[in-house]
Amino acid sequence: MYKKIRVFCLVLFVIAGNLPFFAQNTQIADITVEKLSDDDKRKFDYYFYEAMNAKASNEYDAAYDLLSYCMAIDSTNANVLYELGNYYNSLESKNKAINYYRKAVLYDSDNYYYNMAYGSMCLEFKQYSDAIQQFEKLIAKDPDNNELYVYLSEAYRLDGDIKNAISTLDKLEQLTGLNEKISLHKYQLYTMMKQEKQAFAEIQKYIDKYPTEIKYYTLLGDLYLQAGKKNEAYLVYSKAKSIDPDDPYLISSMAEYYQQAGNKEAAEEELHIALVSPKMDIDTKLSILAQYVGTLQRTQKDTQTANALFDTLMIQHPQEPKLNLMYGNLLMIQDKKNDARFQYQLFADANPTNPVGWEQMLSTSFPDSIDLSIKICEQALSYIKDQPQFYFYLGVSQYMKENYQEALTALQDGVVYVDEKNTKLLADFYGQIGDLYYQLEKRDSAFVIYEKALTYDPNNLGVLNNYSYYLSLIKKNLDKAERMSSITVKAEPSNPTYLDTYGWVLFEQGAYTIAKIYIENAIKYSEENKEDISAEVLEHYGDVLYKTDEPEKALEYWQKAKEKGDSKSKTLEKKIETKTYIAEL
C-alpha cells in the first residue's frame, strides 16, 4: 500500500547515515521500553534503512510505508517518531507533526535535532513555555551554540517576557562580542519596553568603541529620526559630518532629515551631492532615488522634484539602462506616458531579451493605442519567442481591431508557452480563444474551448460572462447560462457588463420583471461611473421595458440605441418602425 504524496521536503533534515539504525532499549522516566527480539531488531533495522534510502531517492510514499512498518515493530523508537514528525510537518499536518516530535523527545531527551524540531514547533503552536524549556535545556548541554540563544530570546519575546529576551541576547553577546544584528534586536526590544535610553545606548556603544567609524553615527542618527527625535538625529549627523562630510550614506540620511523637517530645498541639495559622489555605486544611487520618490508619494508631494535628480544621474551615467527603467517608472507615476515609453525603449534596446522593458513599454500603450501595442508585442517576440504575455496582448489587440484570424493565431501560438501551473493565465488564453471562435461563427468550438478554460479556472469571471451571454443569444442551455452568470454578479455586483448579461439571460428565460432590475442597474452603475453605455445594453433595456408593459419608454431606449451608431442588431430598426419587440433569430 503506497500513499501518493505531493511533497516530502523535510524540515530540519538529518542525513540518514547520521542516525543509528537500531531499536532502542532504555528506561525513560516511568516508561519502560521493551527490548526487541533479535528477529524483530533485524526487521526493524532493514525497514528503517530502506525508509532512509527511499527518502534520499525522493520516493516519499515508499518511505512513509516503510516507516509505518518500523512503527509496527517498535512504536517507541525516537528515530522513527522524528522522521514521521518531519513527514507530517512537510504536509502541513502540524498537529500530527508536533505529537511525533514530542514523543521523539520523550524517548530520546538528549538528541539535539529532536529537541530543536519540537521546540520550533512549540513556537508555531504558541506553546511558548514548552519552547523555552526545550531551548534552555539545549543551551545547558551546548552553551556555545549561538543559534540556540536566538531561538530562546525569540521564545521569551513571544511569551511577553522582554526582559529575559534581552538577557538571553546579552549572554549571546558575551560569546560573540559586539554584533550589529544582536544590538539592533536589543534596540527593538528596549523600544518595545519604552526604555529609549537603553535602546539608543545599544548603538552608542559602537560609537564609543569605534569613534571614527561614520556608519555607526549614521545608524544612530537614522534610528533617532525613525523615533521622531529630529534634534537628536541632527546632532549625531553633525558629528558624522565632522568625520567625513562627503560620505554618500550620511548625505542621503541628511536628505531624509531635511525632508522630514520640511526643508525641501536642503533635501534636494543633499541628494544632489550624494548622486554625484564618486564614492557611491550606481545601484546605491538608484536605491536612494527610489526611497526619495517613495517618500514624495507617501507624503503626497510633487514627484517632479525628482526629475532633475534623474537628469543629473543620466549625465553622470549615460549608458546605464537600469536608470532609464527607473526614470520611466517615475514618468509613468506622473502620467507622462510618451516620455516614459522613450526611457523604456532605451532599456529594451540595451536588454532586448529582458521582458521587463517591453512589458513596461506595453503599459504605456495598451489599451489607448492598439496599433502601437501590436508593434511593441511583435518587437518583443522577435527577441523572446517564449514569453506568453506578448502573444496574449498581441491577440487581444488584434481582437480589438476585429482582425479575428490574426488574433486567434497569436493566442494559439502563445498558449503553448504558458506554464501549466499558471492556471489563471491559461484560462484567460482559452477564454479569448473561445471568444474568437464565436466571432468566427464556430460556436461549437467556442463552447468546447470555454469549457476547457473553466477547467483551469472555474471562477474566471470573463469566461463565465461571455460563455453565458453567447448561450443566451442562441437560446441554448439557459439554466447553465443563468448559473454561470449568477457567479459573476455575486462576485462583482456593480459591474455593468455582468449585470446586463445576467439580466439578458433572465429575459430569455422569461423572467422579465427581475431582468429589468438587473439591466436597469447596469445602466445606473454605468452612469455613476461615467462609463459609455453600449447600444446593445440600451436595446436590451428597451426590450425588457416592452415586456414589462412600458412600450413608450421602450421605444425611447431603442431610439437611444440607434443614436449610438454602433449597433449590430438585426432587428433594432424594425422595432423602432413597428414600435414592437422583435426577437433576434
Domain that holds residue 573: 534-585
User: Is the confidence at residue 10, as pLDDT, over 60?
Assistant: no
Q: Indicate the average pLDDT of the chain.
A: 87
C-alpha cell read off for 184: 539592533
Side chain identity, residue 528:
E
Q: Is the pLDDT of residue 406 over 50?
A: yes
- Residue-level pLDDT at 301: 67
> With 0-12 CB in 10 A as exposed, 13-18 as middle and 19+ as buried, what is 379?
middle
pLDDT band at 545 (very low <50, low <70, confident <90, very high): very high
* Residue 562 placed within a domain: yes
Instruction: Return the bridge partners of 526, or none.
Output: none
CA 44 to chain centre: 46
Calpha distance 114→136 (Å, rounded): 14
Mean pLDDT for the stretch of residues 539-544? 95
pLDDT tens column, 298-311: 666 677 777 887 88
As a whole number of angstroms, the distance between CA 95 and CA 107 comes to 19
Q: With CA atoms as reference, report the closest residue to 475 among 584, 554, 573.
A: 584
Query: Residue 165 and residue 181: Cα distance in Å, rounded?
Result: 14
Of the pLDDT bands very low, low, confident and very high (cuts 50, 70, 90), residue 537 is very high
Give dist(CA 74, CA 23) in Å, integer: 7
- Amino acid 416: pLDDT: 97
Residue 552 located in a structural domain: yes
Q: Is the pLDDT of residue 527 over 70?
A: yes
User: Parallel, antiparallel, or unpaired: how do β-strands 27-28 and 31-32 relate?
Assistant: antiparallel
What percent of the chain clears pLDDT 70, i.e. is strictly above it?
93
Q: Which residues have a Cβ under 8 Å from the Cβ of 347 and sit 6 or more positions away?
A: 321, 322, 324, 325, 328, 354, 356, 357, 360
* 546 domain residue, yes or no: yes
| 475 vs 248: which has the higher pLDDT | 475
- d(C-alpha 399, C-alpha 428), whole Å: 14
484 and 447 Cβ atoms separated by less than 8 Å: no
Can you give the pLDDT at residue 34? 59
Contact 55, 63 (CB under 8 A): yes
Task: Give 151-182 pLDDT, tens digit per residue.
Answer: 999 999 999 999 999 899 889 888 888 888 88
Spatial distance between the Cα atoms of 151 and 183, rounded to a whole number of angstroms: 16
pLDDT band for 29, please (50, 70, 90 cuts).
very low
Question: What pLDDT is recorded for position 12?
Answer: 28
Domain annotation covers residue 544: yes
pLDDT tens, residue by residue, 119-141: 999 998 999 999 999 999 999 99
For residue 538, is it within any domain?
Answer: yes
Cα separation, 504 vs 485, whole angstroms: 10
Judge if the upstream peptide bond of residue 367 is cis by omega within 30 degrees of 0.
Answer: yes
Q: Is residue 567 part of a domain?
A: yes
Confidence of residue 8 (pLDDT cuts 50, 70, 90): very low
Distance of alpha carbon 59 from alpha carbon 19, whole angstroms: 19
Query: Among all chains, which residue has been given the C-alpha cell 431610439?
Result: 559
Q: Which residues contact residue 415 at a Cβ distance below 8 angstroms, ignoring those fewer than 6 apart? A: 388, 391, 426, 429, 430, 433
For residue 25, pLDDT over 50 is answered with no
Residue 418 or residue 25, greater confidence: 418
Radius of gyration of the chain (CA): 34
pLDDT for position 304: 79
CA distances from 441 to 193, 397, 404, 435, 447 (A): 71, 20, 11, 10, 11
Q: What is the pLDDT of residue 288?
A: 75
Check pLDDT > 60 for residue 223.
yes
Q: What percent of the chain has pLDDT over 90?
A: 54
User: Would you say residue 19 has pLDDT above 80?
Assistant: no
Write down the pLDDT at residue 23.
38
User: Are the C-beta atoms of 166 and 189 separated by less than 8 Å?
Assistant: yes
pLDDT the model gives residue 291 = 72
User: In the chain, count of helices (H) and strands (E)?
Assistant: 31, 2
Residue 36: C-alpha distances to residues 22, 39, 338 (Å): 10, 8, 80
Residue 545: closest CA among 536, 556, 535, 534 = 556
Lowest mean pLDDT among 143-152, 351-360, 440-449, 537-546: 143-152
Instruction: List, for residues 415-463, the tens digit of each pLDDT value.
Output: 999 999 999 999 999 999 999 999 999 999 999 999 999 999 999 999 9
The reported pLDDT for the residue numbered 26 is 40
What's the helix, strand, coil split of the chain in %, to 5? Answer: 75, 0, 25
Q: What integer pLDDT is reported at residue 289 of this predicted model? A: 78
Has residue 274 got a pLDDT over 60?
yes
pLDDT one-digit tens code per residue, 479-522: 999 999 999 999 999 999 999 999 999 999 999 999 999 999 99
pLDDT per residue as tens digits for the range 76-93: 999 999 999 999 888 888
Tell me, yes or no, whether 277 lies in a domain.
no
Give ∠ CA 121-124-126 in degrees, rounded to 5.
110
Quick one: cell of 275? 548622486
Location of C-alpha cell 548625505? 251
Q: Is residue 553 part of a domain?
A: yes
Q: In terms of C-beta density within 10 A (0-12 exposed, 13-18 middle, 19 or more buried), how is residue 39 classed? A: exposed
* Separation of alpha carbons 437 and 394, rounded Å: 17
More confident residue, 246 or 399: 399
> Which residues fall within 8 angstroms of residue 441, CB to CB, at 6 or more apart?
none
Q: Is 90 helix (H, G, I), strand (E, B) or coil?
A: helix
Number of separate domains in the chain? 1
Q: DSSP for 227-278, please give it.
A: TT-HHHHHHHHHHHHHH-TT-HHHHHHHHHHHHHHT-HHHHHHHHHHHHH-T
